[in-house]
Amino acid sequence: MQSPDQFQVVTANDLLSGKVVFMTGNRTWSADIRHAVRFDSQTAAHAVLAQVVAQDPMVVGPYLVDVSATGMPLHFREVFRITGPTNRNLNRQNAAA
């Protein structure tokens, strides 16, 4: 059971660029998690995920990510995916802060 301050977003990797992307409210993809639509219902989140898996050829590996009410991921793996590796500068570390 999700807590009232926990949501889910759909994430994947862009097929052409390999970038981490998040589904927005108008069903497009954004590299900025702040643009991601947050689902407070697991049923709704799973329904959208199923549509993406079946119908969106522009992304690979879509799945659901737990986020807080502020939209930040609750697990380190997802924070790492957003900010990128720390052993080389991709200019993503500063952009995510």
> Cβ of 5: how many Cβ atoms within 10 Å?
10
Query: Which percentage of the chain shows pLDDT scores above 90?
Result: 61
Mean pLDDT of all residues in 24-42: 94
Q: Tally helices (H) and strands (E) across the chain.
A: 3, 4
pLDDT digits (tens, 9 = 90+) for 7-22: 999 999 999 998 999 9
Q: What's the pTM value of the predicted model, to 2 decimals?
A: 0.81
More confident residue, 32 or 80: 32
- Count how many Cα atoms sit within 13 Å of the Cα of residue 95 in the half-sphere of its side chain: 12
Is the pLDDT assigned to residue 97 strictly greater than 60? no
Q: Which of 30-39, 72-81, 84-93 is predicted most confidently?
A: 30-39
- Give the lowest-confidence range in 17-21, 35-39, 85-89: 85-89
